[in-house]
Chains A and B, each alone.
Chain A
């Protein structure tokens, strides 16, 4: 048994290290995931693909990614192998390089779907580490920091791809992320660790003396997998509401991410580099948004996520409307609008995942976020082929109408969530408590 000083020392040693490894690893995952999107305009002409084909590639990728993330989440929550993330990254790197050699649509479809499968290995280890090494009253901040990896990877990619595509052709824009993935994947296999208990340390709730964290620990008894899944996830009303709003958030995020540069190029006449730079601003805004949302909810609402999601949903509504209604072909205005929309989209994207993890079972972090991921990538899949049809039939205003309505619906869906702010355990406890209490005098 270690004493208090040694425990603190161990924690203080491992926490920043693990965070750094996670950030680098996940950013690399994003490199190998998004590499394809940013050379799309060049590939379109080179290989003769139309909007329907591009939409199909996107949809299949997101579907396989969503399913794999869920399955990997369940697997990793049970097994907890530390080399899981590294192996996935290695595989995606190899697949990226293979993709550069593909020439017809079916080969590309197969390779990219496999890429989606291995991409699903990235998140569950991060989920496990984030829920076990960081406590509730600070998790918003750390999770926000981790979320920056998404934005770093997402921002580095457009620039990198555009530069590579400009200098060496679009195949190079896939080689470089592929190689990076392989190298970092090999490094990552040795970097990560399991839960603090596996290192001989007490749970983080006890070290930080955080009552809400300890409460979640106590409400998470060991249970078999299927029971944990049905009781804490399927029967939890909050998870379903969060899942529904997650679909919408991802619809907006992926639509703007994937179609944003094409929209800019077509309707505002911006060139490829500027269009990609503008979408990079989207990711930059997202970085700020996730960080601010994280520690904003820690500070302002004492760790309650739902009120912050509501505020950001309102902001998202007005920023999507502003992006759509931005009347002049004024580049600076558009760039600012993209930054704003990115800020207000990544807030809910991060907070919904965080809220879901905090209101369910402690051992089910990967599972519940994998479950949510199914819905997220349903939303993303909707932003692929179905949205391409909407754009073909109704034009760009049709897309923006859809996105604005989605943003409004997020706000509406969250209201019951705020009122029913209970976790699954509290509700069953409350039910038995009120059965034993005598009716109170309600004349006061």
Chain B
């Protein structure tokens, strides 16, 4: 019961408020057109169409009834002559029903605005087709009246509706919406243009016709550019008000047709431009948002990788230390004990056993050292990077294979970060490994230089080169990811052999 009462009261409100508003709009249109029928089709029609589309269907009687009542009153007062106009609200209903079918599917503002403009066009055409044969006014005037009224006021009614609907949905707190209608700076600009326009017209009255183009079209374009579709709609409305005021001051338009044509054109321009610019801004904003998200993700990933690299390095370091401490000392102790046995025992089986123990211990020591070396090259703890790398190159024994290897170290010292040092070492190890196994090169050139706050490692060889399929497998992917994690990059060229350039940021 409460709900029914609510709807009844709302219908009553709409009946009263819309009836009076329709009447006021009719009076203003009558002043412009001096014809009762066209007046009903000019301004009232625009708002009427918008309200039928936007409001719920249960309010249709409350919207149509006051119009019928007022039109009958006007007919009785001899201000309107043709009683056929009484079917005009029902003609609009045809367009409205068709549009409401599509309305829920399109929710973006520009789609809805375009749908509204299509509705206005269809409605104007329908009215002309059905009413023109029976009315005294020429068909073009009827068409233009309905079209102009719709173009001017339907988007404006939509703008106000959206604005008020947002007020309803939001709480009494201010929320940031992506496209809040009617910002205050918009209104200040509107007022500014309006005042400038009126001022220009008052001052330059005789040359109104030419000036109107600048005074009306230019603000339209500027407002649409700056504020999107809301600016376009408001500018269209203000422009039309300025035009009608110009007509009042005297001059500018010879007849109604010309004025209505001018009104429609500048409204269409404003709205169309506004929609186009709003769309572009919307798309650009989306792009920016996605790009920011992507950057955030990439950044997160990079820091994660960097943490991984450091964690790995730390794990290896502690493992190496544990191995060295635990096993190394005990192995040495076993060797000493076996030597003691060899010295103190004379029987050959005992000496042989001690010899075996010694050899086995040596083997364990040897393999442990190799493991340790793999885990954490001790050279780096004992020597500087330069010497360690030199040592590494020597280990590969390229001379014996007949390969010339040149090594230039041009860094100003040792990099501060241990991770960088180890990464460089392992990198060179991996690369030289690849070359010696797969490249069949004759000449190798290794250069380490200081460039751009970092290290640049360059390894050239004149071998068979690396094909794309091979890149995955040669441990280069892993190396490249580690390098990227540390903020560097790896470049690979495969002309006339292979050329690998690695840049790694480092402090010294």
Chain A interface residues (CB < 8 Å from chain B): 285, 288, 292, 295-296, 299-302, 304, 306-307, 310-311, 314-315, 318-319, 321-322, 325-328, 330, 332-333, 336-337, 339-340, 343-344, 412, 415-416, 418-423, 426, 430, 443
Query: 18 extra interchain contacts, Cβ-Cβ under 8 A, other than A321-B24, A443-B289, A443-B293?
Result: A296-B17, A299-B9, A304-B168, A304-B172, A307-B164, A311-B164, A315-B24, A318-B25, A319-B21, A319-B24, A322-B23, A326-B31, A327-B31, A327-B34, A336-B23, A419-B174, A422-B174, A426-B173
Q: Quick one: closest A residue to B70, CB to CB?
A: A336
> How many pairs of A and B residues are in contact by the CB < 8 Å rule?
108
Task: Tell me the smallest distance from the CB of A289 to a CB of chain B, in Å.
Answer: 9
The answer to whether A443 touches B16, judged by C-beta atoms less than 8 angstroms apart, is: no
Bound-state Cα–Cα, A324 to B182, Å: 29
Q: Are A426 and B24 in contact (CB under 8 A)?
A: no
B296 and A443 contacting across the interface, CB-CB below 8 Å: yes
Which residues from chain B contact A344 at a C-beta distance below 8 Å? 20
A337 pairs with B27, CB closer than 8 A: yes
Query: Which chain A residues border B34 with CB–CB below 8 Å?
Result: 327
- With a 10 A CB-CB cut-off, give which of A296, A300, A322 has the most chain B CB atoms: A322
Q: Mark B272-311, 1 if CB is under 8 A from A, else 0.
A: 0000000000000000010011001000000000000000
Interchain CB contact under 8 A, B289 and A314 = no
Contact: A426 with B20, CB < 8 Å? no
Which residues in window 481-507 of B have CB below 8 A to A? none
Q: In the complex, what's the smallest C-beta–C-beta distance from B147 to chain A, in angstroms?
A: 20
CA distance A299 to B13 in the complex (A): 10
A421-B174 contact in complex given A292-B13, A327-B31, C-beta closer than 8 Å: yes
Give Cα A230–Cα B184 distance, bound, in whole angstroms.
26
Chain A CB within 8 A of B114 CB: no
Contacts of B168 on A, CB cut-off 8 Å? 301-302, 304, 307
Name 22 A/B residue pairs within 8 A (Cβ), A-sorted: A299-B6, A299-B9, A299-B10, A300-B10, A304-B167, A319-B21, A319-B24, A322-B27, A322-B28, A328-B79, A330-B79, A332-B77, A333-B77, A336-B23, A337-B27, A340-B24, A344-B20, A415-B182, A419-B183, A419-B184, A421-B172, A422-B172
Report how far A304 CA is from B164 CA in the complex, Å.
11
Q: Is B196's CB within 8 Å of the partner chain A?
A: no
Whether A300 and B23, one on each chain, are in contact in the complex, defined by CB atoms closer than 8 angstroms, is no
Contact A318 B21 (CB under 8 A): yes
A333 and B79 contacting across the interface, CB-CB below 8 Å: yes
- 8 Å CB contacts to A: which residues of B38-72? none
A295 with B9: CB separation less than 8 A: yes
- 8 Å CB interface, B158-199 against A: 160, 163-164, 167-168, 172-174, 180, 182-184, 187, 190-191
- Are B174 and A420 closer than 8 Å at their CB atoms? yes
Q: How far is the CB of B231 from chain A (nearest CB, A)?
A: 14
Chain A interface, >50% SS class: helix
Check B174 against A307 for contact (C-beta < 8 Å): no
Majority SS at the chain B contact face: helix
The 8 Å CB contact of A327, one of B13, B20, B24, B30, is B30
Q: Which residue, B17, B30, B77, has most C-beta atoms of chain A within 10 A?
A: B17
Q: A327-B31, A422-B174 are in contact. Are A292 and B293 (CB under 8 A)?
A: no
Report how far A415 CA is from B187 CA in the complex, Å: 8
The 5 closest A-B pairs by CB, nearest first: A322-B27, A325-B31, A322-B24, A319-B24, A318-B24
Q: Which residues on A sit within 8 Å (CB–CB) of B10?
A: 299-300
B contact residues, range: 35 or more
Q: How far is the CA of A285 from the CA of B21 in the complex (A)?
A: 13
Chain B residues, CB < 8 A from A319: 20-21, 24
Chain A residues with CB under 8 Å of B174's CB are 419-422, 430
Q: Tell me whether A311 and B27 are in contact (CB under 8 A).
A: no
B179 to chain A, nearest CB (A): 14
Say which residue of B20, B164, B183, B184 sits within 8 Å of A310 (CB atoms): B164
Give per-residue flags for B1-38: 1 if the beta carbon is below 8 A from chain A beta carbons, else 0. Answer: 00000100110010011001101110110110010000
Closest B residue to A331 using CB positions: B77
Bound-complex Cα distance A426 to B170 (A): 15
A189, B331: Cα distance in complex, Å: 113
| B66-103 to A contact mask, C-beta < 8 Å, 1/0 | 00000000000101000000000000000000000000
The smallest C-beta distance from A348 to any residue of chain B, in angstroms, reads 13
Residues of A within 8 A of B289 (CB): 443
Nearest CB on B from A425, distance (A): 11
Alpha-carbon separation in the docked complex, A292 to B24 (Å): 18
Quick one: closest B residue to A416, CB to CB?
B184
**Residues of A contacting B20 in the complex (Cβ-Cβ under 8 angstroms):** 285, 315, 319, 339-340, 343-344
Select B13's contact among A296, A340, A419, A420, beta carbons within 8 Å.
A296
Pair B172/A426 contact, Cβ less than 8 Å = yes
Q: Which residues of A contact B16 (CB under 8 A)?
A: 288, 292, 343
Q: How far is A285 from B13 in the complex, measured between Cα atoms in Å?
A: 14
Check A340 against B23 for contact (C-beta < 8 Å). yes
Chain B residues within an 8 Å CB radius of A327: 30-31, 34
| Shortest distance between the CB of B86 and any CB in chain A (Å) | 19
B190: which A residues are within 8 A, CB to CB? 412
Task: List the B side residues contacting A326 at CB < 8 Å.
Answer: 27, 31
Kindly list chain A residues whose C-beta atoms are within 8 Å of the C-beta of B21: 315, 318-319, 340
The residue on A at minimum CB distance from B164 is: A307
Bound: A306/B20 CA distance, A:
21
Given A325-B27, A327-B30: A422 touches B292 (CB 8 Å cut-off): no
- Nearest CB of B to A345, in Å: 12
Most B CB within 10 A of own CB, among A318, A327, A328, A426: A318
Q: In chain B, residues 328-360, which have Cβ atoms closer than 8 Å to a Cβ of chain A? A: none
- Bound: A433/B296 CA distance, A: 27
Q: Which residues of chain A have C-beta atoms less than 8 A from B172's C-beta?
A: 304, 421-423, 426
Measured between alpha carbons, how far is A315 from B9 in the docked complex, in Å? 20
CA distance in complex: A282, B432 (Å): 99
Contacts of A421 in B (CB 8 A): 167, 172, 174
Q: Which residue of A lies closest to B30 (CB)?
A: A327
Nearest-Cβ distance from residue A321 to partner chain B, whole angstroms:
6
A327 to B27, CA, bound (A): 8
Shortest CB distance A27–B (Å) = 23
CB-nearest residue of chain B to A318 = B24
Chain A contacts of B296 at CB under 8 A?
A: 443
B184 contacts A415, CB within 8 Å? yes
Contacts of B6 in A (CB 8 A): 299
Chain B residue with minimal CB distance to A297?
A: B13
> Which residue of A has the minimal Cβ distance to B171?
A421
Q: CA separation between A134 and B190, bound complex, in Å?
A: 41
